[in-house]
Amino acid sequence: MSSTRSALPMSEFDFDFPEELVASAPAEPRDSSRLLFLDRSNGRREHASFRDLPRYLRAGDCLVLNRSRVLLCRLRGKKSSGGKADLLLVDTPEPGLWTALSSGLKAGQRLEFPGGLGACVEGLNSEGEYLCRFDLPDLASYLEQHGLPPLPPYILKRKQASASDKERYQTLYAREPGSIAAPTAGLHFTPELLEFLAREGVTIATLTLHVGRGTFRPITADDAAEHNMLPEWYRLEPAQAELINQARLAGGRIVAVGTTVTRTLETLARQPGGFGPGEGRSDLYIFPGFDFRVVTGLITNFHLPRSTPLMLACAFAGRDKLLEAYQEAFQKRYRLYSYGDAMLIL
């Protein structure tokens, strides 16, 4: 599912950025990261700290969080021939069978991992992912003990995943395991900040979307409108939908924490009966020209060129306003991407 198709040259969403601004580690404490505020009505910008977020929200607004928890789904082992085997587990279509991103593997190869776990490569699927049959039907306990956080490649170029990443590459409110990448807009929140917002009359609602390849798969088409999203599983509980609807009826703003929350809310707004609770798999692709029906505010990080989160942010803020804000952020040395700084667009 996608928004209205029209010619949209991908070259208009490409830009250069200083490589040294890509954050290899998060800010400490979490809410000390910087915050660039963008008024999408007129392009006005302000520079603040993330802990200043309450300055921009008001009683009656509803902040919506993604409770998905990142799986420790990167495995480092070796081939039976002796070479290295580095897997990023993507999905498990049946017990013991996982699709995985890797390179240099061949059908029939045996793989060995720490703790005595073995797997056999069965081949490739239609998405170019390896099919790996593990000795264990359920890897949940194994991954908790031996898995590594699935840090993005641009971070791994600068550092190795460490024990601290297991905690830091999770939001503090993550509860439901299932993501293969963090919903990074939420990494800036502390319990104290959320508690303060709640005391000030901001409603806190939650949903779940498990981040899969659909979120971070790059756009390769010359026409951005020709990209197709891979589906990702989501759920919004009735009680949480009621919180959001109450805020909407009272005139409060619905502020999505991240592009995953935005896609979930806008998917649910397109149900036959209108916005409400639901569960399913969303392949909604949001790009400029999209009609936002629920989301009126967005907290997000600074995104890669040619990425679907960038296209969503451009759709929400307006391409020119957003990319002008990016250029100012580069000049002011904001930290970029998953472990980087944040934007608030209202």
Of 20-34, 89-103, 153-167, 226-240, where does mean pLDDT reach its minimum? Answer: 153-167
Amino acid at position 5, single letter: R
Max Cα distance, the chain (Å) = 64
Q: What is the pLDDT of residue 155?
A: 80
Three-state secondary-structure class, residue 250: coil
Q: Enumerate the β-bridge partners of residue 98.
A: 132
CATH 3.40.1780.10 range(s) for the chain read: 10-70+166-345
Average pLDDT over residues 181-186: 97
Res. 156: pLDDT tops 80: no
pTM for the structure as a whole: 0.94
Average pLDDT over residues 263-284: 97
Res. 164: pLDDT tops 70: yes
List pLDDT tens digits, range 10-34.
Answer: 999 999 999 999 999 999 999 999 9
Res. 114: pLDDT tops 90: yes
- Write down the H helix ranges in the chain: 140-146, 153-156, 163-168, 191-199, 213-216, 238-249, 259-268, 308-317, 319-331
Amino acid at position 191, single letter: P
| Percent helix / strand / coil, the chain, rounded to 5 | 30, 30, 40
Of 66-75, 154-163, 196-205, 305-314, where does mean pLDDT reach its minimum? Answer: 154-163
The Cα angle at residue 66 between residues 155 and 188, in degrees rounded to 5: 50
Distance (Å) of CA 1 to CA 230, 266, 283, 307, 319: 10, 11, 5, 17, 22
List pLDDT tens digits, range 50-69.
Answer: 999 999 999 999 999 999 99
Count of other CB atoms within 10 angstroms of residue 51: 19
Rounded Cα gap, residues 216 and 72, in angstroms = 17
Distance (Å) of CA 60 to CA 43, 74, 243, 252, 325: 24, 41, 11, 5, 28
Rounded Cα gap, residues 338 and 310, in angstroms = 13
Question: Pick from 70, 72, 68: which is nearest to 145 by CA?
Answer: 72
Helices (H) and strands (E) in the chain, counts: 9, 17
Give the dihedral sign, CA 183/187/190/194. Answer: negative
CATH topology of domain 74-147: Thrombin, subunit H (2.40.10)
132 and 92 in contact (C-beta within 8 Å)?
Answer: no
Average pLDDT over residues 20-49: 97
CATH of domain 10-70+166-345: 3.40.1780.10
As to burial, measured by CB atoms within 10 angstroms (0-12 exposed, 13-18 middle, 19+ buried), residue 103 is exposed
CATH 2.40.10.240 range(s) for the chain read: 74-147
Q: Give every CB contact of residue 273 below 8 A, 6+ residues apart in sequence.
A: none
